[in-house]
A and B are shown apart, each in its own frame.
Chain A
């Protein structure tokens, strides 16, 4: 079974964010970029499925500039077979991105497309189900584990207060969240092999971005409050403050 995994290059989640000179995006200086954590789960899920079935090819696709090649190589080092870089503008408009991915994926039409539930930069959480809708495929989101059966793919989708189990006929699109697919570390052998795996570059066929970022701002720093006291003896005073000063009890 051939699987496509759509991935994204994002700042490491430990990054301290500063607003760049343009006032609409982050200052990239000194920022370490990584494969988005949710996309790592998706790559891991694809590799496990391939290994379990003993056949098929895992292709990773990203949309971005040349720097994203590094992110593709990370996924190849984990074990993906080949990579495609769709050269285009990374935009806040998820639908423009989904159109770019759909134009590429429509051609190869694999039975399963996986993505992370969201990218750990703009937290857009939309490209997967948009891509599915554009391709006319069913989609399950925020899936912590799935199983391919004769009838299709059975997905465990995490929602408030529980898990919804859905069955989708193939071909389908599934977005992955934290759960079953703790990602592997790339081995040295994997890193060496990744350098020789095919990485194709082509122009992305995106729509125009119709959602614009007018400004990016940092949240107000919270003013540090006070240490009420030490140990359990401070509890009555804390309760009094929560009740009389903060009005939250």
Chain B
């Protein structure tokens, strides 16, 4: 089984999710007499990042480098991918289910005339064919799906597939670019960073999420302190109620009409646990809830709960974690 994994870079650096996708592809291919190629698209010099994929399970890294490809360009990237996929004769093509991957994959699907499974959380081989697991209704249910077309095209949810270490170096080959960037209709105007260095809630390894129990948007510093104590991989989340109230940006919303997340550790602070919120975070590794109301539904899914005033509990928690990490 020959699989193409699409790597993702931002600002010329390979993103961690790329290795997850390559490892997932390798896990399938290696058991089924296959091999994995990686396609890395970026600006001049991006080939230096290919070494980051040594030991990821890939055999080859195909590098498509061009000044006009340094930042994600939907038209340019879709056309480059189409050329590489058609030339390679792949059984499957996997992308990360990031904003970029979820924007790019449908365009590729339409160009190749194959269906697409977005945001999958599992891959199995059943009677020689791929069977994909994907959450629906924001995680309230799962479907097992099969695809009657080649290649099988899917995006893989971040934080679900574990990066593996295989002892093999990758061969690097360059892809010839015959595209003329002036024929791409979309113009990239600018990028406005919002979160600084804080990871997005969908990609964070640890999430500190707040709800109406915070009482006022001014009080978010309590959560920000906890988040910063937990380290660089921690992100901020929010319930729908506080996003609808305008306290927090929609990008932080967890649950149906927001993001579905799977961090290893999730703190639900002042969140009662509406069904649509629970759907979005129930696959987290460990869930901690802090709430004044001992009957709040959040405690039915939490591994550990503290009943009490979050304005007393959370600062204490922040302090204990700082002490534990030797910063207190």
Contact = CB atoms under 8 A, between A and B. Distances in A.
Contact of B118 (A123, A157, A177): A123
A92 B154 CA distance: 13
B257 to A, nearest CB: 5
B113 A95 contact: yes
Contacts of B300: 222, 224
A242 interface: yes
Contacts of A187: none
B118 A126 contact: yes
A12 to B, nearest CB: 9
A121 B137 contact: yes
Interface in A72-95: 92-95
Contacts of B274: 14
A139 B107 contact: yes
B110 A95 contact: yes
A142 B312 contact: no
A224 B313 CA distance: 21
Given A142-B99, A165-B192, A238-B317, A133 B118 contact: no
Nearest to B276: A13
B148 interface: yes
A246 interface: yes
Interface string A224-242: 1111111110111011011
A215 B131 CA distance: 11
A225 B305 contact: yes
A163 B243 CA distance: 17
Contact of A125 (B119, B140, B186, B315): B119
Interface string B284-311: 0111100000100001111111111100
B303 A225 contact: yes
A164 B188 contact: yes
For chain B, what secondary structure do more than half of its interface residues adopt (helix, strand, loop), or is it mixed?
mixed
Interface in A212-229: 212-219, 222, 224-229
Contacts of B74: 129, 138-140
Interface centre among A19, A162, A167 (most CB of B within 10 A): A162
A17 B304 contact: no
Interface stretch (B55-63, B217-225, B248-256): B248-256
A122 interface: yes
A56 B283 CA distance: 46
B174 interface: no
Nearest to A212: B146
A217 to B, nearest CB: 5
A161 interface: yes
A218 B294 CA distance: 26
B112 to A, nearest CB: 10
Interface in A1-52: 11, 13-17, 19, 24, 26, 37-38
B324 A167 contact: no
A122 B117 CA distance: 10
A133 B115 contact: no
Nearest to B105: A126
B102 A234 contact: no
B91 to A, nearest CB: 15
B46 to A, nearest CB: 19
Contact of B107 (A14, A93, A133): A133
B215 interface: no
A227 B203 contact: no
Interface centre among A212, A224, A242 (most CB of B within 10 A): A242
Contact of B137 (A17, A38, A226): A17
Interface string B193-215: 11100111011001000000000
Contacts of B139: 219
Interface of A: 11, 13-17, 19, 24, 26, 37-38, 92-96, 98, 120-130, 132-134, 138-142, 144, 154, 157-169, 177-179, 209-219, 222, 224-232, 234-236, 238-239, 241-243, 246, 248-249
27 contacts: A11-B137, A13-B256, A13-B257, A17-B140, A24-B143, A95-B110, A125-B102, A126-B116, A130-B107, A132-B107, A134-B110, A162-B193, A164-B188, A179-B250, A210-B114, A211-B146, A211-B147, A212-B147, A214-B146, A219-B141, A222-B282, A227-B305, A230-B307, A232-B313, A235-B306, A241-B304, A248-B286
The 6 closest A-B pairs by CB, nearest first: A133-B110, A160-B200, A225-B303, A126-B106, A159-B99, A211-B115
